Structure 1
């Protein structure tokens, strides 16, 4: 079976959560018997990516890969012919959309990896309203086409499954859940001494997207800290620029950018707890990463975080600030209920063995 894999996200943001799942998918596919894997992407002229994947002859900057005009040129002008020439049996798009436009090569089956639907259900950061409208319209059309034309739609959680079925009820019968792969870190934890972090701190990973709900958590943390000196400092992996100006210089808050995997490993290990306040989450990668090294978590309720988090972990409403403040005060007054070993055991249900078993089932279904 010859399988084609959409590799465009890797070129745009090689360290993103989506790219990490592309790497996991690629590695898992290569372990399956009688599978030949080919990559498809766009790249700048002269880039080494062109030696590792099938690319169109035209030049495309890495930062421009997902611009609507470049996507259309790739998905309509290049991909159908390239898939036909390479005799691909199954093509997997990896970023919510991006399947080849008609005419579809004869005998080709397709899968879209649908991480979430927030591109079309929520507002995101854009330079201006016109750009936001253009991207949202393009994304809505592209996702709708991918969901309706694909032979299968794979989602990382039951929550995303149900959201997809709600928005596209005619596609409900072909949606399957493929939980993300999250292994414990391979690299040793970095020495964080140069970062000059406080001895005790809570951690939050990701600040850019509105749905991460970071200002809500910072506000509750600030109020809890006023009431108790035992509330730890707060370290954010991201930028303070995504917070309201009044929150950027609060005593005890730090933001770290340019964090390496080894530093992220160390941050998870040293944090007293990871907080995930998102009001919309398709999976919740930082939660499993923290658990995989034995760190306790506390999460907002109502989305996929409910299903990927241990039942004993603290949960809170993503809209009730006073309740979150009280939870913070309660948690500094008592030790974590979950031991590090319990956290690690829970995270193992998302390791590469579990991922590869489920992927093998889904590929077998498509043969």
Structure 2
């Protein structure tokens, strides 16, 4: 089987959540017998990606690959012909959309990795209201086209799968769950990051409004005022994502641009990971933290109901009283590190991911 993979997310941002899943899919496909992988991407003319991927002859700026006009040129003006020339049996679009526009080659199958539908259901981060409305309209058309065109739609959680069926009832029979791959933690303990307090809580991701971080930080501040036992808070993100009044609170620490090793060290030494999002398609930081035996506390609802054990503390994402209750309880009675949390996280390890991918590929090949 010759499998074509939309590699654009990994070209632009290999350390992003979607980019890492594209790389995971790439490695799983390379490990399969009787499977040839062909990457399809865009890049500047002097970019190293052109040595390993099938790219259009024109130059493409890395910071512009998500622009509608750039996507249209790639998906309509390059991809249909390139897939036929490369004799691709199965093409996998990897970023919620991106299946080719135009005539599909006979017997060619297509799959769509649909991570979530928050581009359509949530207020996302854009520089202007007009831009937000334009992107919602264009993304809506692009996602609907790809869901309609795909032979299979692969979602990382039951939540995302059910949302896909709700918004696109015509696709009910082709939606499947392919949980994300989460690499297991290293066996060696990482050195404790410098300049951090003896106790700290951790939260990862601040940009999108659905991360609910302003609400969380406001209530962390209130809980800290009520009890001196509430630890410092370390946020992985950018301070500009929060209102100015919350950016420089006492006990609040910021980190960004971390390497994998630096982030892993933060997971290992955190007393607890907090995930206050009111909308998640999977919840990668939750599983990453659990892989180190680090307790997690998370909001109820969306995919977060699936990715953590039932005994993990939970709170209503918009209920300030419930959140403060949870904050104060865990400050006064911290949860111990637990090896059973590692066992839970193992269900998202490479072996489980590759076994499920094989099932889905065999189904498509039947």
The answer, yes or no, to whether TM exceeds 0.5 is yes
Q: Work out whether 1:183 is the aligned partner of 2:183.
A: yes
Q: Work out whether 1:36 is the aligned partner of 2:36.
A: yes
Alignment length (residue pairs):
365
**What does the per-residue CA deviation read over 1:210-253, in whole Å, with 9 as the maximum and x for residues that have no partner?**
10000111111111111111100000000111111111121111
The residue number in structure 2 matching 1:282 is: 281
The residue number in structure 2 matching 1:96 is: 96
The residue number in structure 1 matching 2:330 is: 331
Q: For the structure 1 residues 328 and 23, does the alpha-carbon distance in structure 2 shift closer, same or farther, using more than 3 Å as the test?
A: same
Cα drift, residue 186 of structure 1: 4.5
Query: Contact 1:187–1:262 at 8 Å: present in 2 too?
Result: no
Q: For the structure 1 residues 189 and 42, does the alpha-carbon distance in structure 2 shift closer, same or farther, using more than 3 Å as the test?
A: farther
Distance (Å, rounded) in 1 between the aligned partners of 2:102 and 2:306: 37
The residue number in structure 1 matching 2:55 is: 55
Cα drift, residue 187 of structure 1: 9.2
Query: Contact 1:44–1:60 at 8 Å: present in 2 too?
Result: yes
SS in 2 for 1:15: coil
Cα drift, residue 323 of structure 1: 1.2
Q: 1:47-126 maps to which residues of 2 (within 5 A)?
A: 47-126=47-126
The residue number in structure 2 matching 1:3 is: 3
The residue number in structure 1 matching 2:341 is: 343
**What does the per-residue CA deviation read over 1:77-96, in whole Å, with 9 as the maximum and x for residues that have no partner?**
00000000000000000000
Q: For the structure 1 residues 105 and 272, does the alpha-carbon distance in structure 2 shift closer, same or farther, using more than 3 Å as the test?
A: same
SS in 1 for 2:312: coil
Query: Contact 2:43–2:61 at 8 Å: present in 1 too?
Result: yes
Query: Contact 1:189–1:262 at 8 Å: present in 2 too?
Result: no
TM-score, normalised with respect to structure 1: 0.97
The residue number in structure 2 matching 1:212 is: 211
Distance (Å, rounded) in 1 between the aligned partners of 2:326 and 2:2: 52
SS in 1 for 2:302: coil
Cα drift, residue 192 of structure 1: 5.1
**What does the per-residue CA deviation read over 1:164-184, in whole Å, with 9 as the maximum and x for residues that have no partner?**
000001101000000001122
Q: Work out whether 1:145 is the aligned partner of 2:145.
A: yes
Distance (Å, rounded) in 1 between the aligned partners of 2:153 and 2:188: 36
The residue number in structure 1 matching 2:227 is: 228
Query: Contact 2:180–2:353 at 8 Å: present in 1 too?
Result: yes
**What does the per-residue CA deviation read over 1:187-223, in whole Å, with 9 as the maximum and x for residues that have no partner?**
96654544x1111100000001110000111111111
SS in 2 for 1:131: helix
SS in 2 for 1:308: coil
Q: For the structure 1 residues 241 and 192, does the alpha-carbon distance in structure 2 shift closer, same or farther, using more than 3 Å as the test?
A: farther
The residue number in structure 2 matching 1:167 is: 167
Query: Contact 2:154–2:177 at 8 Å: present in 1 too?
Result: yes
SS in 2 for 1:116: coil
The residue number in structure 2 matching 1:244 is: 243
Q: For the structure 1 residues 277 and 35, does the alpha-carbon distance in structure 2 shift closer, same or farther, using more than 3 Å as the test?
A: same
SS in 2 for 1:366: helix
Distance (Å, rounded) in 2 between the aligned partners of 1:66 and 1:105: 26
Deviating 4+ runs (over 3 angstroms):
185-194
Cα drift, residue 22 of structure 1: 0.7
Which structure 1 residue ranges, 5 or more long, are not aligned?
none
Distance (Å, rounded) in 2 between the aligned partners of 1:140 and 1:113: 15
Query: Contact 1:188–1:265 at 8 Å: present in 2 too?
Result: no
